[in-house]
Chains A and B, each alone.
Chain A
Amino acid sequence: MNFPFGILAISGRWFLDFLAYLGELGALSGQLVESIKLGAIRGRLMLQQIVTIGYGSQAVVIVTGAFTGAVFTAQSYFKFKDFGIESSVGGIVSVSLCRELGPVLAGLMVTGRVGASMAAEIGTMKVSEQIDALRVMGAHPVDYLVLPRFLAMVISMPLLISECIAFGLGASFLVGTGIFNIPYAWYWKHVVDHTGLEDVGFGMIKGFVFGILIVLISCHQGLIANNGAVGVGLGTTRAVVYSSLSLLVCNFFLTFFLNYFFPLGSAM
């Protein structure tokens, strides 16, 4: 093929594959909505998933939040001290944790921990015909596998993010007041003055959306797995990579969208 057309063909194929992928995700969402409408909720499976996804991810999310809050406090303090506004560190850390760091970091950690295990578990079931066995026995794979994970995720994500933010702020408080000797009252006043309910809501909404993204992408990779162990490995990798990337891209657009409803400052 001639030089320019070859490039067009490759990028065109790539684009078409991408559209096909979005179509498959759309189809899975459709089945999920249908499954919700039919009320095919399996309480026991959902509770099991809440334990795995929510309860099990707490340690990871708390450590992430705490150390991020601590280091962010230190870095902000070093720079803010130059301007003599070091006591306002609490405000910036708190708003950042609520709006960006909490949801994004917790989302990424949950992707790595939960998204991978979802894709691997469902993928293994697919390649060992266990999904076909479900279908044969009259259980829809989306009802049985995807819906409980979806519900568990949308319930757990906002709570995990809250924990991430709370522990981040706690660590920030300890570092700010303990190491850098910012007076308690000053520190706390800045936190309260600059953080509103809308900032917390901002993070919760993001968490909800990220939860949906992680579940859809990871379960989809599991459900389409083939080619045995290699296929499951590939699916797991893709689940984590696609979820993380889509989470970061989606976060950018979500920030602008949500800022329209919950504006921060007077920039927009």
Chain B
Amino acid sequence: MAAISYDKPFIRITGLKKSFGEQKTLQGVDLDIYHGETLVLIGPSGEGKSVLLKHIIGLLNPDDGKVELEGTDLSHMKERELLKMRRRMGYLFQNAALFDSLTVAENVAFPLLEAGIRDRTEINKRVQEALELVELGEHKDKMPVNLSGGMRKRVGIARAIISKPDCVLYDEPTAGLDPIVTDVIDLMIQRLQKRFQVTSIVITHDMGSVFKIADRVAMLKNGVIYFIGTPGELKQSSDPEIQNFIAGRSGMCA
């Protein structure tokens, strides 16, 4: 494992609250994320994992509390200032959110163009590299509509990592993918961490992935961080709720 420094948080979330109408989604989330670690976010569906991730990158504004990136408060920044901060991060949307007016290669090249890179040969080289990393090298001239759900997701991953960001946020990177591709994605997240010390925050429901890639696991439940610790601690936890979640036991009878 690459060296992770646990002395100073890279991203610090304090007292984060967010409601949508009557629905109180986040009710005071406190979480520190450190440089170079892979933090996996688990928890029941609809409890605000994606909402938390969107706050980290500033797509949503909190009702209360704040998100700091290396000490800079993101939660009260103007959109144009946020745009610059966001270039340090990559984000994979749950549904990939590819631009359907652009080809796969143009989608993947987008962050590079936005970062001001104009050298065509460099862009083409990096796009090819990123697509080969997710095993889509030969599909670069297709339009997103002509791809399967899993392929779209992998294009989304290529797009999220191409600009070599300091931190990548993955919203369910392996949902809907076959076991082999899931393994490829898991290994890729690990490789990025080892080679470039990329900090990753991963939302997943795949417990296999959790134990394979996580340095720490956080469980979001009822709008707060219900558990945080290493995968080992998660396994050892005596809390029946956590054990049921890991094992996938609903407690219902057939």
Question: What residues make up the interface of A, taking CB atoms closer than 8 Å to B?
Answer: 34, 125, 128-130, 132-133, 135-140
Contact = CB atoms under 8 A, between A and B. Distances in A.
A12 B101 CA distance: 43
A138 B99 contact: no
A135 B93 contact: no
26 contacts: A34-B80, A125-B99, A129-B97, A132-B54, A133-B91, A133-B93, A133-B98, A135-B59, A135-B79, A135-B83, A135-B86, A136-B59, A136-B89, A136-B91, A137-B86, A137-B87, A137-B110, A137-B159, A138-B83, A138-B86, A138-B87, A138-B115, A139-B83, A139-B114, A140-B79, A140-B80
Interface in B98-139: 98-100, 110-111, 114-115
Contacts of A136: 57, 59, 86, 89, 91
Nearest to B88: A138
A133 B97 contact: yes
Most chain B CB neighbours (cut-off 10 Å) among A125, A128, A137, A139: A137
Contacts of A129: 93, 95, 97
Contacts of A135: 59, 79, 82-83, 86
Contact of B114 (A125, A128, A132, A137): A137
Interface in B46-66: 54, 57, 59
A139 B80 CA distance: 9
A133 B94 CA distance: 11
Contacts of B249: none
B111 A132 contact: no
A132 B83 contact: no
Interface in B121-172: 159
Closest 5 CB pairs of A and B: A129-B97, A133-B97, A136-B91, A138-B87, A138-B114
A133 B156 CA distance: 10
A62 to B, nearest CB: 28
Contacts of A139: 83, 110, 114
B48 to A, nearest CB: 16
